[in-house]
Chains A and B, each alone.
Chain A
Amino acid sequence: MVIYSLTFYLFSSVAVLSALMVISAKNPVHSVLFLILSFVNASGLFVLLGAEFLAMILVVVYVGAVAVLFLFVVMMLDINFVKLREGFLQYLPFGALLGIVLVIELGILFLTDRSSNIYNNQIPLQPIVSEVENTKMIGQILYTEYFYLFQICGIILLVAMIGSITLTLRDKGGVKRQNIDSQNTVDASTAIEKKKVKIGEGI
């Protein structure tokens, strides 16, 4: 249908344009905001493909959590972008190399015979309608066939988490912490001490 093609071109063009703006915006915070726009449009493309679960996960994980922390850091660190741009030419060959590798890979993918592909050379613009919800389909394949890979991913994330905690954990000493439990158990008998004060002596 025309509507699907139109929405596809809308999402994809905004995604590409905002991706361009990510690297060309002068202000780093604007860059992050364009990155978020690009993520949201990518999730729109997932919806068009009928992969609604992936679309929502993309928004929840990348936009709702990762990009928030990213924005947080960019806002906190007062990055001087003019200085950062001085090294632009120095990094240009490396960036160009990465780009060329990516283009070649994509080219190989498009030029090779894809008759074995289930879509038979046609990338569908319309949602693939199936009886089973794709949330269920992902669950069925992820926890059976790819179970070990899934577990390994979890362990890698755990290692990264422990690593970052050990890097930032410093026992400064002399820090007064609030012990909520002991504070909650305080009552009149433990908090107040009655004393008989003799006249003219004090405590």
Chain B
Amino acid sequence: MNYDIFITGLIIIAQILAVIVPVLISVAFLVYAERKVLALIQLRRGPNIVGPFGILQSFADALKLITKENIIPSGSNKIVFILAPIITMVLSLAGWAVIPFAPGWVVSDINVGIMYLFAVSSLGVYGIIMAGWASNSQYPFLGALRSAAQMVSYEVSIGFVIITVLLCVGSLNLSKIVLAQQTVWFAIPLLPMFIIFFISALAETNRLPFDLPEDESTLVAGFFTEYSSASFVLFFLGEYASMILMSSMTVILFLGGWLPPFDVYPLNVVPGVIWFTVKVIFILFLFIWVRGTFPRYRYDQLMRLGWKVFLPFSLFWVVATSGFLVYFDMLPN
């Protein structure tokens, strides 16, 4: 009689592994892809030594970092110092529990999927703020303070963008959000919101041009200045995993998730998971492209963009969308 619980537990663990292992492997290849794309943008060669075309470079780097000595500064608050990278890593993996890769391909198809993703991404700031405080050093502390203010500011506009999408869907379930885009992807009717969401995602994941928390030209390495070896690897993995998570969120909200661009013969034969992956790779390429192209924002400009441009605009768009839906009687049930 207890076998049922046992088997259910095993199935859940298998599902978790089936999601997390590909995510970790794709993080390794994302790092490689980023270095290659940046190299192409800057007319360099990029990594080309380890493996064919340097494809195993990230694995070599990870091995090197993990075998190094883990240094914990004597003035640091040790427990919080060690907890911070763990929290960052766990949170960037926790969000994957609700991501639907294809119809039915989801670990947990909960009713409040998008709220869960929003909650997990808003918790991401704790890893950074704890790292900055526990390091007991000036540069990490400044990085952590910048990050806290930045992530809280951009969450507000992300929230409004999500509300706009939810108004058009009528459900918080991620699979239903994807299915609501069968006629047209939300990126087309809600194009300004799509752009705002993408830029806010850059700020939320601390990527260039908004990577002020780790601003290497002024703060050495920002919040992870004092980290080395395995704890540094956790921060690094966490940052890239949350980048992929935010890209998947963008794809689900605006680019129709696993749906093909048009529901016609050669396109709708391709499995949904392939469409999903292709779209996520496209968004990730945009992340890297932006990094290779734009200079870093100044902090006051970053705050101005968040509070004075995105917030009023997205608030207006929420009102406009709901007005439109009510007026033309298009509200979903």
Contacts and interface: CB of A to CB of B under 8 A. Distances in A.
B112 A64 contact: no
At the interface, is chain B mostly helix, strand, loop or mixed? helix
A47 B77 CA distance: 33
Interface stretch (A68-76, A86-94, A143-151): A68-76
Interface of A: 2-3, 27, 29-30, 33, 36, 52-53, 55-57, 59-60, 63-65, 68-69, 71-72, 75-76, 133-135, 178, 180
B123 A75 contact: no
B155 A72 contact: no
Contacts of A29: 77, 80, 133
A30 B77 CA distance: 10
B145 A72 contact: yes
B167 to A, nearest CB: 12
Nearest to B129: A71
B112 A65 contact: no
B110 A68 contact: no
A135 B171 CA distance: 9
B94 to A, nearest CB: 11
Contacts of A76: 145
A192 B47 CA distance: 44
Interface residues of B, number: 30
B111 A52 contact: yes
B115 A60 contact: yes
A65 B115 contact: no
Given A29-B133, A68-B125, A59 B119 contact: yes
A135 B172 contact: yes
Contacts of B141: 75
Interface in B140-156: 141, 145, 148-149, 151-152, 155
Contacts of B129: 68, 71-72, 75
7 contacts: A56-B116, A59-B119, A59-B122, A60-B122, A68-B126, A133-B171, A135-B111
B5 A3 contact: yes
Contacts of B77: 27, 29
Given A72-B148, A75-B133, A135 B112 contact: yes
A64 B122 contact: yes
A168 to B, nearest CB: 15
A64 B80 contact: no
Contact of B110 (A27, A52, A178): A52
